[in-house]
Structure 1
Amino acid sequence: MTTIPSLYTWAGGQEALEKLTTVFYAKVLKDELLEPVFRHMSPEHSKHVAHFIGEVFGGPPVYTTEDNGSHARMVAHHIGKALNDTQRKQWIKLLLESADEIGLADDPEFRSALVGYLEWGSRIAVINSNATENPINENAPMPEWGWGVPGGPYQP
């Protein structure tokens, strides 16, 4: 492989991420631990989250341009929600189950990057959910997540 694709491309692009979040949030709404947190989410919530993940994973800036989002605005959705580690772990479990269910790339390097991002992002969400003010400036850049070490998709 001469060029290393972005995580966004390797995952299957926007279509795959939107399928992932659609399947995932359907599970969330049936989960007794998470449903109360997401009970009042907008009908567009799963698509916005897919756009956010896509942008973070190196895709086009759909979240910031079409959804008028930013890193600060994503963080703002978590302020005051008082999330806990049990909810965080369940959130990750359901998301990974959804990834398996839709056939998202399952090579070790991609899944390592995905799990690393989910661990990082969900722990940040718990911290921010217990804050009273947004710690992120509106002008802060969007996070960027890559392959990490050793870098790139698995090549036997």
Structure 2
Amino acid sequence: MNPDAVPTLFDWAGGQAAIRRLIDMFYDRVEVDALLSPFFPGGVSEEHRAHVSLWWGEVFGGPARYTEQLGGYERMLAHHRGLGITDEQRLRFATTMSQAADDAGLPADPEFRAALVGYLEWGTRLALANSQPDAQPPPHAPVPRWGWGVAPPYQP
């Protein structure tokens, strides 16, 4: 396969509309989850859903709208500082997002799902670490641009 012809995870997923479906399905589940809903008293706002959709779109290789409009890494980090996320909450977040990918009709091929779960594991572990009271994250880092890793897109 020509590396220049390999689609981004963003494109493979279906673009911004698919990412938004993923985020909406995720937060719909979060709002009724006893372990995660306390992070969002009163529910998850439309603004929060829109911002997280921009983040995921950028991370998966779409336009850099989160960085351009909302401040990139520093802004995302600020939202997690001091939350005191637990190991159980981290795992529930990752599991719930994986379920939301099914709900949203994202591609089910093993290569895409491996990339999705890879980002979930990496991102949730960073969020957990950076949410602790004694966390000292780097003051600046780029927004990650997640790719396929070792397995290229599935070709039927």
- CA separation in 1, counterparts of 2:6 and 2:154? 11
Structure number with the higher helix fraction is: 2
**CA offsets per residue over residues 10-56 of structure 1, 9 Å max, x none?**
01110000111011111101111101012265431111111101101
Letter in 1 for 2:153: P
- Among candidates 35, 38, 53, match of residue 36 of structure 1: 38
- CA separation in 1, counterparts of 2:133 and 2:118? 23
* Mean CA deviation greater in 126-135 or 112-121: 126-135
Letter in 1 for 2:154: Y
Equivalent residue, structure 2, for 1:100 = 102
Identity %: 50
- CA separation in 1, counterparts of 2:136 and 2:61? 25
The number of equivalent residue pairs is 153
Distance 1:134 1:50, change over 3 A: farther
Pair 1:82-2:84 in alignment: yes
Pair 1:141-2:148 in alignment: no
Q: Root-mean-square deviation (CA), in Å?
A: 1.6
Q: Is the 8 A contact 2:129 2:135 kept in 1?
A: no
- CA separation in 2, counterparts of 1:52 and 1:134? 22
Please, what TM-score do these two structures have when normalized by structure 2? 0.90
Q: Is the 8 A contact 1:55 1:63 kept in 2?
A: yes
The alpha carbon displacement at 1:132 in A equals 4.8
- Among candidates 65, 68, 81, match of residue 68 of structure 2: 65
> SS where residue 46 of structure 1 aligns?
helix
Structure 1 gaps of 5+ residues are none
